[in-house]
Amino acid sequence: MKSKSASRLFYLSVFALWAAPGSCEVSNDDCHISPKSIVGDACASYSTLDKLNLLTKPAVDDLTRNTDFFSHYRVNLFHKKCPFWDDENGMCGNIGCAVETLDNEEDIPEIWRAHALGKLEGPRAQHPGKKAQRQHPQRPLGGLLGENVGESCVFEYDDECDERDYCVPEDESASSKGDYVSLVRNPERFTGYAGDGAKQVWDAVYRENCFQKSSFPKSADLGQSGWQHGPAAQDFKQILDAAGRQAQLEERRQENPNTPFVANTGFEVEDECLEKRVFYRVMSGMHASISTHLCWDFLNQTTGEWSPNLSCYEYRLHKFPDRIGNVYFNYALMTRAIAKLSPYLQKEEYKFCLGDPSEDAATRAKVLEVTEKAASVPQIFDESLMFVNGEGPSLKEDFRNRFRNVSRLMDCVGCDKCRLWGKLQTAGYGTALKILFELDNNNEDVPHLQRTEIVALFNTYARISSSLHNIGQFRQMMEAKAEKERLAEELAEEKRRIDAEREKHAKELEDRQKEEQRIRVEREKRAEERRKEKTPNQKLEEMFEEVKEEDTKVEPEVAKNDQMDDAMRDFIQLRARGPKEESMMGHLEHELAQFKGVLRVVLNGWARTPRMLWTIVRYEARRAFRSYVGLPVGPRVWKFGLPNIPADKDEL
Among 92, 153, 353, 418, the active-site one is 418
Note if 24 is an active site residue: no
| DSSP letters for 375-440 | TTS--S--GGGSS-STTHHHHHHHHHHHHHHHHHHGGG--SHHHHHHHHHHHHHHHHHHHHHHH--
Could you tell me if 73 and 181 are in contact, meaning their C-beta atoms sit under 8 angstroms apart? yes
Q: Name the nearest CA neighbour of 573 among 584, 564, 583.
A: 564
> Is residue 252 annotated as involved in ligand binding?
no
Could you tell me if 70 and 459 are in contact, meaning their C-beta atoms sit under 8 angstroms apart? yes
> Is residue 253 annotated as involved in ligand binding?
no
β-strand partners of 125:
180
- Secondary structure class of 637 (helix, strand, coil): coil
Q: What are phi and psi of 21, to 5 degrees?
A: -65, 145
Note if 161 is an active site residue: no
d(C-alpha 89, C-alpha 106), whole Å: 19
d(C-alpha 34, C-alpha 31), whole Å: 9
Burial 449-463 (b: 16+ CB within 10 A, else e): bbbbbbbbbbbbbbb
Could you tell me if 446 and 393 are in contact, meaning their C-beta atoms sit under 8 angstroms apart? no
Say if strands 72-75 and 124-126 run parallel, antiparallel, or are unpaired: unpaired
Amino acid at 208: E
Could you tell me if 241 and 15 are in contact, meaning their C-beta atoms sit under 8 angstroms apart? no
> Is residue 535 annotated as involved in ligand binding?
no
Could you tell me if 39 and 46 are in contact, meaning their C-beta atoms sit under 8 angstroms apart? yes
Q: Name the nearest CA neighbour of 439 among 430, 429, 447, 448.
A: 447
Q: Name the nearest CA neighbour of 597 among 571, 578, 575, 574.
A: 571
According to DSSP, residue 181 is labeled: E
Give how far Cα 314 sits from Cα of 192, 295, 321, 327, 482, Å. 18, 9, 11, 15, 12
First-last CA distance in the chain? 135
Among 24, 92, 412, 415, the active-site one is 415
> Is residue 452 annotated as involved in ligand binding?
no
d(C-alpha 413, C-alpha 423), whole Å: 9
β-strand partners of 307:
298
d(C-alpha 594, C-alpha 131), whole Å: 187
> Is residue 284 annotated as involved in ligand binding?
yes
β-strand partners of 38:
45
> Is residue 18 annotated as involved in ligand binding?
no
The annotated binding site for FAD is made up of 189, 191, 202, 284, 287, 316
Instruction: Give binding residues as ranges.
Output: 189, 191, 202, 284, 287, 316
* Residues annotated catalytic, as ranges: 415, 418
